[in-house]
Amino acid sequence: MNFRLVDLSAEEIAQQLSVVEPLTDSVRGLIDAVIRTEVDDDELNAAREQIDAIVARLRTKQKPGSFGVQFTRELSGLSWGNAAVGARNGIAPPMRIVHHEDGRATCDVELGAAYEGPGGLVHGGVSAMLIDQLLGEAASVGNGLPCFTGTLTVKYLRPTPLGPLSMSAETVRREGRKIFVRGEICTADGPTVTAEAIMVSPKELPSRDQIMKLRAELAAQDGQG
Ligand SMILES: CCCCC/C=C\C/C=C\C/C=C\C/C=C\CCCC(=O)SCCNC(=O)CCNC(=O)[C@H](O)C(C)(C)COP(=O)(O)OP(=O)(O)OC[C@H]1O[C@@H](n2cnc3c(N)ncnc32)[C@H](O)[C@@H]1OP(=O)(O)O
């Protein structure tokens, strides 16, 4: 696992998010508009030229590869490229608000046209991704251990309509590094999807010694700066 510490305060993170999240929401708006627009071909070609110009502008300075996951000194993870919850990722559904309490994680999300599978309904792979993320968060945050999905079982009880949904996930039990979790996706009429997973905290996590060494390196950089 690529583990990197960054030296950002909570205020600096909030400042960056205050710029990045509205930009990502604009990208989501663009994706939705491209799916649903009924303007003519000339308008579509003109829009493409403008979009290409914006892409070229953003690419004048960019990271190689993916965003990665950076950890702050307090070990809170900044997974801003994440496919399910990345603050910079316009294809990630807008599910950033996750509430944690007593090992239980909940989240409300509104899915639009970009998440369609069967007409008017949520794609089954999207449902699996959303509940996988929430199950992973319930296991990781609830037990203070970063986990990978080992096994995910998803049961589609009835079609999930696009629109507002609520999700929940909770830890059922823990056996060593294995955390058993279950969760569901619901409409106002009740559950449409239920899921169970075995989340495994990998044995090859950075050790406490490695984390302390990275912290010391950051502190030394502070001294130089
Ligand atoms: C670093 C400090 C930071 C601290 C941060 C604190 C908290 C974190 C906070 C927030 C994080 C928030 C949420 C994010 C969480 C998740 C959401 C999305 C998750 C994903 O999108 S993630 C990508 C998809 N996921 C993979 O890409 C996994 C690929 N795979 C592997 O990386 C390994 O395969 C792994 C790690 C699974 C196991 O590797 P390993 O070597 O550690 O395991 P090992 O063999 O030692 O087995 C130990 C025990 O687990 C059992 N076991 C093993 N494999 C199993 C399996 N597949 N299913 C069921 N049980 C399994 C064995 O049977 C044994 O059980 P027993 O002890 O009873 O014998």
Which stretch of DSSP H or E encloses residue 33? helix 10-36
Please state, in angstroms and rounded to a whole number, the distance separating the CA atoms of residues 148 and 198.
9
If asked whether residues 126 and 213 sit together in one domain, one would say yes
| Any atom of ligand 1 within 6 Å of the Cβ of 168 | no
Range(s) of the domain holding residue 75? 1-92
Output the domain CATH number for residue 204. Answer: 3.10.129.10
Q: In angstroms, rounded to a whole number, what is the distance separating the alpha carbons of residues 193 and 123?
A: 12
Q: Are residues 158 and 129 in the same domain?
A: yes
Who's near 18: CB < 8 A, 6+ residues apart? Answer: none
Report CA 53 to chain centroid distance, whole Å: 28
Q: Quick one: pLDDT at residue 3?
A: 63
Residue 125's CB: how many other CB atoms inside 10 A?
A: 11
Give the number of domains in the chain.
Answer: 2
Closest residue by Cα to atom 37, ligand 1, is 150
pLDDT digits (tens, 9 = 90+) for 95-123: 866 788 887 999 999 999 999 999 999 99
Closest CA to 115 of 123, 106, 107, 105: 123
Tell me: pLDDT of 26 over 80: yes
Last residue in a domain, options 37, 65, 92: 92
pLDDT at 225: 46
| Ligand 1 pocket member 200 (CB < 6 A) | yes
The pLDDT assigned to 20 comes to 96
- Specify whether 60 is located in the same domain as 121: no
The response to whether residue 176 sits with its C-beta less than 6 Å from ligand 1 reads yes
Cα(86) to centroid(ligand 1), Å? 21
Closest CA relative to residue 101, chosen from 58, 137, 148: 137
How many CA atoms does the CB half-sphere of 157 hold within 13 Å?
Answer: 11
**Residue 78, pLDDT score:** 87
Strands 70-71 and 4-5: parallel
DSSP secondary structure, 6-19, as one string: ----HHHHHHHHHH
Q: What is the pLDDT of residues 171-222, one digit of tens each?
A: 999 999 999 999 999 999 999 999 999 999 988 776 666 667 777 776 776 6
Give the pLDDT score at 137.
Answer: 93
> By the 8 A CB rule, do 105 and 99 touch?
yes
- 119 and 196 both lie in a single domain: yes
**pLDDT-derived band at 2, boundaries 50, 70, 90:** low
Together in a domain, 73 and 49: yes
The protein residue whose alpha carbon is closest to atom 56 in ligand 1 is 150
Residues 6+ apart with CB under 8 A from 74: none
Secondary structure of residue 212 in the 3-state scheme: helix
Cα–Cα dist 75/212, whole Å: 11
Cα-to-centroid distance, 198 and ligand 1 (Å): 8
Which of residues 92, 122, 154 is at a domain's end? 92
pLDDT recorded at residue 70: 81
The ipTM value here is 0.93
- Residue 195 to residue 197: CA distance in whole angstroms: 7
**131 and 200 both lie in a single domain:** yes
Q: Tell me the pLDDT tens digit for each residue of 31-59.
A: 999 999 999 999 999 999 999 999 999 99
The rounded mean pLDDT for the chain is 91
How many CB atoms lie under 10 A from the CB of residue 15?
Answer: 12
Protein residue with its CA nearest to atom 24 in ligand 1: 149
pLDDT tens-digit series, residues 83-94: 999 999 999 998
Bridge pairing between strands 104-111 and 98-101: antiparallel
In terms of domains, do 68 and 138 share one?
no
**Helix or strand run (H / E) with residue 148:** strand 148-156
Residues 82 and 171 in one domain: no
Task: Note whether 2 and 27 are same-domain residues.
Answer: yes
Co-location of 13 and 100 in the same domain: no
Single residue among 43, 65, 92 that ends a domain in this structure: 92
**64 and 3 fall within a common domain:** yes
Which of these, 151, 191, 200, lies nearest to 168 by C-alpha position? 191
